Structure 1
Amino acid sequence: MKYGASAAVAAAVLMTALVVTPKDAAPSAAQSACALDAASLGGFVDIPGGGFVMGVDPVFPEEGPPRKVLVSPFRLQAHEVTNSQFAAFVAETGYVTEAERTGGSAQFSESETPEVFLSWWSLNAEATWRSPDGEGSDLSGRDLHPVVHVTLNDARAYAAWAGARMPTEIEWEYAASLGLFDPMDPESGIRAPDGSLRANIWTGLFPVLNSRRDGFAGTAPVGCFEPGRTGAYDMIGNVWEWTDSPFAPGVPRATIKGGSYLCSEDYCQRYRTAARESLERDFSTAHVGFRVVQSIGNSDELR
């Protein structure tokens, strides 16, 4: 992941050794209780066809330029795919994820040198979707958390089993844009007018202090925050979401969208609908998950 540098953050990093990480906070009963009920799990919302401006109000170079896009209607799973959903897929098919086959997944963790980006991440051989925090961890209390440590290839396999497919970047951004509480405010997905939080992001000084003002240090159960105007939950924050679109011509990476619990207001700012990042299709991390869609028509960019 690449993030925009901040002189204020760098200075603060050098002044403190306190790092609060997602691993410090196991899911509580109160957190699990805020999730969707069983009857709502796996539901889809209808996204009407229409047009929008993709890449509006770009902050980073890869987000622009703004361009008009026409999108055909489709159905979007109302929440990120959960551990319980993925477990059902694995139980029926015997599927083994790439992290389980190839030696682990990327984990965000405490660092003695947090001013060095690469020190925040390490390849944890024991980190898989079954053990999201590595050795000794499991899915206890996390059935309704989004599944993580899954690659795009893993997500595609699940989607095919579920009778769905992965969204394109155009579809994902269109649905997220329609869901904004205030279409004129690209940050309305994370913050209400009274300042209360509408998404699970990093609150505090990244990466040295997570205040957990949103109630979570790591992932949140799906549905803990109010849905957007489309009825979809967590399009912003919680975990990045895979799309089936290449990041750029000739770049062997797929696009991920939406930001995660590691996106902060003072640093990453990639919790906007136009924000985008990239990841190798066969790589997985602790903060990337996915949701699926069902086709009704096709999507095309107006040129």
Structure 2
Amino acid sequence: MGTFADVPGGGFIMGADPVYAEEGPPTKVFVSPFRLQVHEVTNRQFSTFVAETGYITEAERNGGSALFVKSRTPENFMSWWRLDPLATWKTPGGEGSDLTGRDNHPVVHLSLNDARAYASWAGGRLPTEVEWEYAASLGLFDPDDPRSGMRRPDGTARANIWTGFFPIQDTGSDGFEGLAPVGCFEPGLTGLYDMIGNVWEWTESPFGPDVPRITIKGGSYLCSDTYCRRYRVAARDSMEPDFSSSHVGFRILKDPALAD
């Protein structure tokens, strides 16, 4: 079911160096040890799950998923996305697309329930926001530089983000336009790949009190210097638990007692 890295227990400052209001205030938190999948769940791994269980995702049952598209009216935020009735995990680009050449891409177009179903089948669970951010923080090459998970001191890429002026042009100067296969960039100090960029990742944590949305972490290939800047471990966003999109995936956690 994939390779896992041991994340030792310890304390850290959650929400360090906040940029947006929802990221703070910085808080000291203690975390128990766990094991985290070294990369996001891939299309190949999810295909095995579906083949063995016959699982049908919510996007397949409920009329599609959100697909990011290049817009002729980029000044209109809503024009960047469309609810595509044919966008699913196995047709990630909508009509006419398939998984050819994408076996090692992170699986997308999955709701929280879809991610939970896979995690249960694989003998694990989704991480909480605290666990996810703790693991990502331990992996930073420079704890004093929140952007060190995204780029090296010389400016070269450590993560797949949007390079260029968002949403007009992604130059692909980091090596990729759109999604990248998992593990294309160097791992963090904990051996975990793609904790920053590529796809947002589901957690099990509500976004806030009385907010009917779930926290997602890590940023995605749509994060850029000219737009969201959520390519930092403290960054957070949210999504409805029954919704899915082309830039959100997940990885799973195993508690020590359940680890292989």
Q: TM-score range by the shorter chain?
A: over 0.9
Count residues in correspondence.
257
Q: 1:72 touches 1:296 (CA, 8 Å); kept in 2?
A: no
SS in 2 for 1:255: strand
Structure number with greater CO (CA < 8 Å, separation at least 6) is 1
Amino acid aligned to 1:178: L
Could you tell me which of 162, 169, 173 is aligned with 1:213?
Answer: 173
Moved over 2 A (4+): none
| Per-residue deviation, 1:194 | 1.3
Find the counterpart in structure 2 of residue 128 from structure 1. Answer: 88
Taking the aligned partners of 2:39 and 2:174, their CA distance within structure 1 comes to: 18
Match of 2:190 in 1: 230
State TM-score, norm by structure 1: 0.84
Q: Are 1:192 and 2:152 counterparts?
A: yes
Residues 245-279 of structure 1 show CA distances to partners (whole Å, capped at 9, x for unaligned) of: 00001111100000000000121100100000000
Deviation digits for residues 150-181 of structure 1 (CA, Å, limit 9, x no counterpart): 01100000000000000000000000000011
Paired position in structure 1 for 2:63: 103
Counterpart in 2 of 1:55?
15
Contact 1:145–1:222 under 8 Å retained in 2: yes
CA RMSD of aligned residues (A): 0.8
The partner residue of 2:45 within 80, 85, 89 is 85
Query: Residues of 1 paired with 2:226 and 2:152: CA distance?
Result: 18
User: 1:36 maps to what in 2?
Assistant: none
Secondary structure at 1:52 match in 2: strand
Q: Which runs of 5+ in 1 are unaligned?
A: 1-40, 298-303
Query: Counterparts in 2 of 1:244-263, with a 5 A limit?
Result: 244-263=204-223
Corresponding residue to 2:2 among 42, 57, 61: 42
Higher Rg: 1
Gaps of 5+ in 2: none
Q: Distance in 2 between matches of 1:161 and 1:153?
A: 12
The one-letter code matched in structure 1 to 2:94 is G
| Secondary structure, counterpart of 1:210 in structure 2 | coil
Residue 175 of structure 1 corresponds to which residue in structure 2?
Answer: 135
Structure 1 residue aligned with 2:242: 282
- d(CA) in 2 for partners of 1:143, 1:274: 30
Determine the structure 1 residue equivalent to 2:118: 158
- Aligned to 2:11, the other structure's residue is in SS state strand
The residue number in structure 1 matching 2:229 is: 269
1:219 and 1:112 map into 2 onto residues whose CA distance is 22
1:145 and 2:80 matched: no
Task: Give the share of equivalent positions with the same residue, in percent.
Answer: 72
Q: In 1, Cα distance between the equivalents of 2:179 and 2:195?
A: 13
Distance, in Å, in 2 between the alignment partners of 1:197 and 1:222 is 15
Are the aligned partners of 1:105 and 1:149 in contact in 2 as well (CA < 8 Å)? yes
Equivalents in 1 of 2:36, 2:5: separation in Å?
Answer: 5
Offset of 1:69 from its aligned partner?
Answer: 0.3
TM-score (normalizing by structure 2): 0.98
**Partner amino acid for 2:141?**
F
| 1:201–1:260 Cα contact (<8 Å) kept | yes
Write out per-residue CA displacement over residues 53-82 of structure 1, whole angstroms, 9 at most, x where no aligned residue: 000010000000110100000000000000
Match of 1:19 in 2: none
2:114 is paired with a residue of what secondary structure? helix
Q: After TM superposition, give the deviation of residue 126 of structure 1 in Å.
A: 0.4
Residue aligned with 2:186, SS: coil
Report how far residue 195 of structure 1 moved: 1.1
